[in-house]
Chain A
Amino acid sequence: MIDFLNALTLFANFVLIPGLAYGSQLALGALGITLLYGILRFGNFAHGDTMAFGTMTVVLITWYFQSIGISFGPLPTALLALPFGIALTALFLILSDKLVYKHYREVKAPPIRMVMASVGVMFVMNGVVRFIIGPNDQNFMDGERFIMKARAFKNATGLNEGLAIKSSQLLTVVIAIVLVSALFWFLNKTRTGKSMRAFSDNEDLALLSGISPQRVVLVTWILVGALATVAGVLYGLDKSFKPFTYFQLLLPMFAAAIVGGVGHPVGAILGGFVVAFSEVTVTYAYKKFLTYLLPTEYAPDGLMQLLSTDYKFAVSFIILVVVLLVKPTGLLKGKVI
């Protein structure tokens, strides 16, 4: 029995909890991508860098708050800075829409041209972020770091294995749940949300029934800005903020959006967790886990690791390719890319 509990704790500590947190972060990122795809009809390559931009504004505001002595008790100060960061990011996105995407919408450019334009926007954002805050790691986590420390858990339960829960991990999951519920409420219950869904389903019909396209576009960008900033800040609090790693997040986020079904909000969340847990479970070495569970004579000698951790990103690639081949609409029926 003790062995079983040890195995469970081990699994929770190295797979379940990190996977949940990472999955929530990916889900929020993928939601932004899917929303934009559903309503404005293009895959936004600049999304990773939008996250970086949003996080950067939050980091800068957090530093300002810290310097004038504002703090949020045991919670990270970054949460206080979040609304300001979201506002700035939304403004930046609306500006990029006015300068770039608006033109392509007006000439009714095919989606691929919008995608290419978003690659351009991506490079600009890339540069802006590096120009302002630099390419290096920035740590902006403050407040209480742990809810439960591994050693404290060991002492309390008498198990061999520790279980650590970082406050950033719990925050990530809680905030993701709140934000996603709010988004669904907004899309399903409010007038603006309904008009956005109508616009997504059939643009012409929506226009005929008097829905203002400018308003839909504006609200979409604000939502995307909010989702991207929150996802970026949570990732940064949990790990660390570095512009390049945010750019790298683009691949798993796209994989998540596509796996779930592009344009399908529930699918994005599902996809986020599928990608996160595949990355973590495939690269985890199960030797110790199995040693606890199996009788001594069957204990494995090898590491019992399917893929070396070097190939973590390959997992999202493989998922992406397989889904596109086998079920191009994604797990939940989304739009075909």
Chain B
Amino acid sequence: MKKLLLASTILAGLTGAAFADGHEVKMGVILGFTGPIESLTPDMAAAAELAMKETAGKVLDGKTVVSVRADSTCTDAAAATAAAERLITAEGVVGIMGADCSGVTTAIANNVGVPNGVTMVSPSATSPALTTIEDKGFFFRTAPSDARQGQVLADVLKDKGITKVAVTYTNNDYGKGLAEAFGAAFKATGGEIAISAAHEDGKADYSAEVGALSAAGAEHLAVFGYVDQGGKGIIQTSLDTGAFDKFILADGMIGESLIKNIGKDLEGTIGTLPGSESDGAAKFKEVATAGGLAKNDGPFMPESYDAAALMILAMEAAKSTDRAAIQSKMMDVANAPGEKILPGELAKALEILKSGGQVDYEGASNVTMTEVGEAAGSYKELVVKDGKFETVKVR
């Protein structure tokens, strides 16, 4: 029996080795497939994998980038770190697309990504604190910092003539960072924050939280939480008790499941989401539909596609799958000079790079990296109309 086990183990090892025949390059896709944003992540991963599919067999003279998925859980730093560790040491990925939520992303970058010299590109970690982590240049993000989102939200409210709001945020790096950024920006425009209180995710009952928020006397409630978690509970309870009926949502709260769960009471709710209505965004929808994705315009899908695409292009530009070489070329492919590249044109970009030319990847989310390696960021101002999030304008 023991021998049989041993033999089968060896056999399994051999077949595993046979598959990794040098034509495949592994890229980690670490997102919260379980946890508070689990309704968003499958589409994000699919978008990233779309970029890999598009370049299959064309990278570095016939290589294919394949995805290795791992679960960041969005909230559990230890679990996320362990998952990233597995990707880097056991799977030998050349780069990581991820992680998603700010807290786990910081943990992975500090504990595994940067120490091992692995390039990470997060499509959705937006905490302002990530701008200043010691990343030795290995951490990038295609999502802009929430410092910017706070400013945009404050501008939106100012334009609408809203001068007093209650703020509730999910009690983690993302929520706190955004609430602070928004608070500072809103006060600077002359607004007043009536109350800013945290809420815990995963509770059944938010009536006490909503009671406290409503007592402060603001008419609008800004919710900086997660669409499948406390944020939804807060909105539901607010509507049930009649405490608030006008909401302001940040990116973590934008998702169709919210409208599905809450219904028509959300009409007129305003929100912001990273993204743009550029040619790239429209092109991405076409590419996603043609690629057979379930959705073509989910939150953070364009950023996910761009994150994977950037690393693939950097690989080609570096003419190597070496981790450090990829990192050194990230900024070159993301920014000018070079030929502008939109979604669906990755093959063309690879050709240009192969022949020694330069590209300026625009992608689905209009990528331009700041010097610390994060998207400068344009935001869509959204409003809920007829049961759908509709873009009012891009800021």
Chain A positions within 8 Å of B, measured between CB atoms, are 13-15, 18, 22, 139, 146, 149-151, 153-154, 162-164, 166, 235, 239-242, 244-245, 279-280, 283-289, 291, 303-305, 308-310, 312
Complex interface: chain B residues within 8 A of A139 (CB)? 261
Contacts A22-B205, A164-B241 aside, 15 further interface pairs with beta carbons under 8 A come to A13-B242, A18-B207, A18-B208, A151-B245, A241-B204, A279-B208, A280-B211, A284-B211, A284-B212, A287-B216, A288-B214, A288-B215, A303-B215, A309-B208, A309-B212
Complex partner residue of B242 from A164, A288, A304, A312, CB under 8 angstroms: A164
Complex contact B208–A235 (CB within 8 A): no
Tally of B interface residues using CB under 8 Å: 27
Complex contact B215–A312 (CB within 8 A): no
Complex interface: chain A residues within 8 A of B197 (CB)? 308-309
B171: shortest Cβ distance to chain A, in Å? 8
Complex contact B208–A284 (CB within 8 A): yes
The answer to whether residues A310 and B198 also contact, given A285-B212, A286-B215 and a CB cut-off of 8 A, is yes
Q: List 19 A-B contacts (CB under 8 A).
A: A18-B207, A18-B211, A22-B205, A149-B242, A150-B240, A153-B242, A154-B242, A235-B204, A240-B233, A280-B207, A285-B211, A285-B215, A285-B216, A286-B215, A287-B216, A287-B217, A288-B215, A288-B217, A305-B215
Complex contact B241–A280 (CB within 8 A): no
Q: Which residue of B lies closest to A13 (CB)?
A: B241
Complex partner residue of B208 from A241, A289, A303, A312, CB under 8 angstroms: A312
Complex interface: chain B residues within 8 A of A283 (CB)? 208, 211-212
B56 in the interface, Cβ–Cβ < 8 Å?
no
Complex interface: chain B residues within 8 A of A239 (CB)? 204-205
Complex interface: chain B residues within 8 A of A149 (CB)? 242
In the complex, chain B residues 112-161 whose Cβ is within 8 Å of any chain A Cβ: none
Complex contact B240–A242 (CB within 8 A): no
Counting from the closest, the 3 A-B pairs by CB-CB distance are: A150-B242, A162-B242, A285-B215
Interface centre among A154, A285, A286, A305 (most CB of B within 10 A): A285
Complex contact B241–A240 (CB within 8 A): no
What does the 1/0 interface line of B199-215 toward A look like (CB < 8 Å)? 11011110111111011
B230: shortest Cβ distance to chain A, in Å? 11
Complex interface: chain B residues within 8 A of A151 (CB)? 242, 245
B259 in the interface, Cβ–Cβ < 8 Å?
no
Q: Which residue of B lies closest to A166 (CB)?
A: B240
B394 in the interface, Cβ–Cβ < 8 Å?
no
Complex interface: chain B residues within 8 A of A280 (CB)? 207-208, 211
A319: shortest Cβ distance to chain B, in Å? 16
Give complex CA distance A335, B207 in Å: 34
Complex interface: chain A residues within 8 A of B217 (CB)? 287-288, 291
Complex partner residue of B202 from A146, A242, A288, CB under 8 angstroms: A242
Give complex CA distance A4, B252 in Å: 40
Q: Which residue of B lies closest to A280 (CB)?
A: B208
B195 in the interface, Cβ–Cβ < 8 Å?
yes
Q: Which residue of A lies closest to B242 (CB)?
A: A150
Complex interface: chain B residues within 8 A of A310 (CB)? 171, 198, 200
A152: shortest Cβ distance to chain B, in Å? 9
Complex contact B212–A242 (CB within 8 A): no
Complex interface: chain B residues within 8 A of A153 (CB)? 242
The answer to whether residues A284 and B215 also contact, given A22-B205, A239-B204, A242-B202 and a CB cut-off of 8 A, is yes
Complex contact A14–B214 (CB within 8 A): yes
Q: Which residue of A lies closest to B205 (CB)?
A: A239
Give the number of A-B contacts (CB < 8 Å).
Answer: 89
What does the 1/0 interface line of B167-187 toward A look like (CB < 8 Å)? 000010000000000000000
Give complex CA distance A18, B204 in Å: 13
Give complex CA distance A291, B217 in Å: 10
Complex interface: chain A residues within 8 A of B208 (CB)? 18, 279-280, 283-284, 309, 312
Q: Which residue of B lies closest to A154 (CB)?
A: B242
B266: shortest Cβ distance to chain A, in Å? 15
Give complex CA distance A146, B240 in Å: 8
Give complex CA distance A151, B241 in Å: 9
Give complex CA distance A242, B230 in Å: 13
Complex interface: chain A residues within 8 A of B243 (CB)? 14, 150
Complex contact A164–B202 (CB within 8 A): no
Complex contact B195–A14 (CB within 8 A): no
Give complex CA distance A146, B202 in Å: 24
A272: shortest Cβ distance to chain B, in Å? 15
Complex contact A14–B204 (CB within 8 A): no
A25: shortest Cβ distance to chain B, in Å? 10
Complex contact B211–A14 (CB within 8 A): yes
What does the 1/0 interface line of B367-392 toward A look like (CB < 8 Å)? 00000000000000000000000000
Complex contact B241–A150 (CB within 8 A): yes
Complex contact B204–A242 (CB within 8 A): yes
Q: Which residue of B lies closest to A244 (CB)?
A: B202
Complex interface: chain A residues within 8 A of B202 (CB)? 242, 244-245
Give complex CA distance A163, B211 in Å: 13
Give complex CA distance A284, B209 in Å: 8
What does the 1/0 interface line of B308-323 toward A look like (CB < 8 Å)? 0000000000000000
Complex contact A14–B207 (CB within 8 A): yes
What does the 1/0 interface line of B240-251 toward A look like (CB < 8 Å)? 111101000000
The answer to whether residues A240 and B212 also contact, given A14-B241, A150-B241 and a CB cut-off of 8 A, is no
Complex interface: chain A residues within 8 A of B211 (CB)? 14-15, 18, 280, 283-285
Complex interface: chain B residues within 8 A of A287 (CB)? 215-217
Complex interface: chain A residues within 8 A of B209 (CB)? 309
Give complex CA distance A305, B243 in Å: 17
Complex contact A245–B240 (CB within 8 A): no
Give complex CA distance A134, B205 in Å: 19
Give complex CA distance A43, B374 in Å: 55
Q: Which residue of A lies closest to B241 (CB)?
A: A164
Give complex CA distance A312, B233 in Å: 16
Give complex CA distance A279, B203 in Å: 15
Complex interface: chain A residues within 8 A of B242 (CB)? 13, 149-151, 153-154, 162-164
Q: Which residue of B lies closest to A304 (CB)?
A: B215
Complex partner residue of A303 from B198, B205, B212, CB under 8 angstroms: B212
A22: shortest Cβ distance to chain B, in Å? 7
Q: Which residue of A lies closest to B233 (CB)?
A: A240
A126: shortest Cβ distance to chain B, in Å? 16
Complex interface: chain A residues within 8 A of B245 (CB)? 151
A242: shortest Cβ distance to chain B, in Å? 6
Give complex CA distance A124, B207 in Å: 31
